[in-house]
Amino acid sequence: MTARVMTARPGSSSAPILQVSGLSKRFGARCLLHDIDLRVDAGERVMLLGESGSGKSTLLNLIAGLECPDEGRISIDGEPVDASSPDRSARLRREKLGFVFQAYHLLPHLDATQNVAVPLLLLQVSPTLARERARAMLARVGLSKREHAMPATLSGGEQQRVALARALVHEPVLLLADEPTGNLDPRNAARALSLMLDQVARTHAALLMVTHSEAAAASGDRSLRLALDDELGASLVAGSTDPTS
């Protein structure tokens, strides 16, 4: 096991885990995101709200280096995100990020345990230890009985929990979660949420989580909303106020 996986970050650092400045993104003629500034510090859990189509998933993809911004800068744990360099952004994702995708994106040819073990194997953790840690994380999301199940045989909610276990297993410094409880029943949603919130606090990591649930949003340290502007593009505003009110 590498130190990166085992060791909690020191909580004393005042440098931001995530820093986004002046970020803008256009798709063709449409400006989707306009001049986004965002800072998330160690230990902070930030909830991201916004109507469907306001650009929440795009913002997470930009932060993860999966999309190129038109303007602006992003850094994670002091390292610039450069989506134009696939190798560099893949390494940054591997070393710093956990990402619960809205559409899960499990590897279809690997079983639940193997899917969860992938981030550890990419960090050179031994296969035996990676498997052990993956099984322990599956137990924490309530899926011990589904360890050997292939993704296609899992329900949407079970796939979502495997995706969550995979995003948490290597204790990333930044957790990006795109509606991670959207397909879960209330009990499993509450369990998944507290698992994320607790791990991020314990490891002094940072969480940026997209949610439509006002209750989930209230459980974070603060919430932000992507406010739609059809001409300018969405910008970030503080709080969870309903933009239609």
Ligand X SMILES: Nc1ncnc2c1ncn2[C@@H]1O[C@H](COP(=O)(O)OP(=O)(O)O)[C@@H](O)[C@H]1O
HEC sequence for 27-96: ECCEEEEEEEEEEECCCCEEEEECCCCCCHHHHHHHHCCCCCCCEEEEEECCEECCCCCHHHHHHHHHHH
The residue behind tokens 């949610």 is 211
Q: Which of 19, 24, 54, 57 binds Mg ion (CB under 5 A)?
A: 57
Q: Which of 57, 114, 183, 203 binds ligand X (CB under 6 A)?
A: 57
Structure-block tokens of residue 16: 């931001």
Nearer Cβ to ligand X (35/132): 35
Choices 52-60, 72-80, 83-91, 166-174; region in contact with ligand X by CB under 6 A:
52-60
* 231 binding ligand X? (CB under 6 A): no
Q: Which of 135, 130, 132 is nearest to 2 (CA)?
A: 130
Could you say whether residue 58 binds ligand X (CB under 6 A)? yes
Distance CA 209, CA 226 (A): 13
Q: Give the binding-site size for Mg ion (rule: CB under 5 A).
A: 2
Half-sphere exposure of 15 (CA within 13 A, CB side): 9
Task: Choose one: 51-59, 84-92, 107-115, 123-131; the region binding Mg ion (CB under 5 A).
Answer: 51-59
Rounded CA separation 56/179 (Å)? 10
In the complex, minimum distance from the CB of residue 95 to Mg ion, in angstroms, rounded to a whole number = 25
Choose, by CB under 6 A, the member of 55, 69, 151, 172 that binds ligand X. Answer: 55
Per CB under 6 A, the list member of 16, 43, 50, 98 interacting with ligand X is: 50
Sole binder of ligand X in the list 20, 23, 31, 32 (CB under 6 A): 32
The site partner of 53 among ligand X, Mg ion, none (C-beta below 5 to 8 Å per kind) is: ligand X
Contacts (CB under 6 A) with ligand X, residues 157-216: none
Does 230 bind ligand X (CB under 6 A)? Our answer is no
How many residues in total does the chain contain? Answer: 245
Inter-residue contact 207 to 192 (CB < 8 Å) = no
Q: Which residues bind ligand X (CB under 6 A)?
A: 27, 32, 50, 52-58
Q: Which residues bind Mg ion (CB under 5 A)?
A: 56-57
